[in-house]
Amino acid sequence: MSLLTPGDERLYLRLLGLAGFASMASMRIGDPMLVVLGEEFQVSTGEASGVVSVFAVVYGLMQLFYGPLGERFGKLRVVSLAVAACALFSAITALSVNLPMLLLMRGFMGAAAAGIIPLSMAWVGDQVPYERRQETLAKLMSATVIGMMVGLWFGGFAADTLGWRSAFVLLAVMFAWPAVLLWRARQKSTAPTSGQAPSLIDSIRLTGQLLVMPRVRWVLGVTATEGALVFGAMAFMPTHLHQQFGLSVVAAGSVMMLYGVGGLLYSQMARRWLAWLGERGLVRAGAAMVVVGLLVLAWGSGVWLGMLACLMTGLGFYMLHNTLQVQATQMAPAARGTAVTLFACSLFFGQSTGVLLMAQSVDIGWLPYALSLSAAGVAVLGLSIMRLVGKH
């Protein structure tokens, strides 16, 4: 564990929060745009959903590289370079003239953004003792949740009023700011630099050693399932709100912000939630809320029900997910950077699989049935996690 002064730790947590804010905004900003993008490029909504799935696929794939890179060159250094790359690719994305170019640039954005949140989590794991880690990760998560809310709202607002390209111009600015601040902070910091880094072969061998550990395989497996069930459904929630509840694109994005509000309700009271419910109780309550929220979204009618469902789903998901995040930071402490990036890899491979499957249901009008299947899957997943999390 590297030695940082309390002041340095607080500074880096704030800057990593800014970077995570922009990263999550970039991930979710395309969700409410799907209908508008489909109309502009004359493709179906399912085909337009490639702007979501390609980001997730590349984001997940790049985790296999960012873990070793973080161990080799230092987590903060890699994060700062990734944030700068995101600023560049966001600006170029705004210039996309057709759907293939937009998909390509979203892939590059996913590749760059992949180095931000997971390595930030690993850095927290290095710097913060286990007994404070759940609370610290929750604070970092609050910044990413707000970023998700801003991305969902501004993606819909921009698509409806200013034009979807303006959203990526704003993203470029949002990434450029923490990129500059991180670079300046690292120049002034007196923190020790990384020691001799492992070779590529050693990194590959380390990844293989992690994957044969039963605990690691369990965490990665349930995380991939969680990503497919919840994030796959989430990508099409704004579309469903637009089609089922008759909301405009910007209104659907605004309602989806309540998903993020649910996350904030969790993150701001993480210590109390944990004290009240315990880890297994968090899993039980979180899974139940996600199940009810998805079912209400699938079959409910009325804007108020849709708003309540989004709030419940967000609160429940973050109860469930933050418990898994803490498990990920501790499943292999000696190789935490690689372990946490494998965690992110499994999450976003799961998300991309879920988005691709959900896209098929959208184009044939079966989205409510797909949301119901996701709810059933979350119920089974919650029971499995609840039974096993206490053993670890």
For the chain, the structural domain boundaries read 6-185+195-389
Give me the pLDDT at residue 198, please.
59
Give me the pLDDT at residue 62, please.
86
**pTM of the predicted protein model:** 0.74
Does domain 6-185+195-389 fall under CATH 2.130.10.10? My reply is no
Residues lower than pLDDT 70 in the chain: 1-7, 130, 134, 189-200, 203, 337, 388, 390-392
Give me the pLDDT at residue 134, please.
67
Give me the pLDDT at residue 199, please.
62
Give me the pLDDT at residue 1, please.
46
Give me the pLDDT at residue 20, please.
93
C-alpha–C-alpha distance, residues 385 and 380, integer Å: 9
Give me the pLDDT at residue 188, please.
73
3-state helix/strand/coil string of the chain: CCCCCHHHHHHHHHHHHHHHHHHHHHHHCCHHHHHHHHHHHCCCHHHHCHHHHHHHHHHHHHHHHHHHHHHHHCHHHHHHHHHHHHHHHHHHHCCCCCHHHHHHHHHHHHHHHCCCHHHHHHHHHHHCCHHHHHHHHHHHHHHHHHHHHHHHHHHHHHHHHHCHHHHHHHHHHHHHHHHHHHHHHHHHCCCCCCCCCCCHHHHHHHHHHHHCCHHHHHHHHHHHHHHHHHHHHHCCHHHHHHHHCCCCHHHHHHHHHHHHHHHHHHHHCHHHHHHHHHHHHHHHHHHHHHHHHHHHHHHCCCHHHHHHHHHHHHHHHHHHHHHHHHHHHHCCHHHHHHHHHHHHHHHHHHHHHHHHHHHHHHHCCCHHHHHHHHHHHHHHHHHHHHHHHCCC
Give me the pLDDT at residue 358, please.
84
Which amino acid is residue 51, in one-letter code?
V
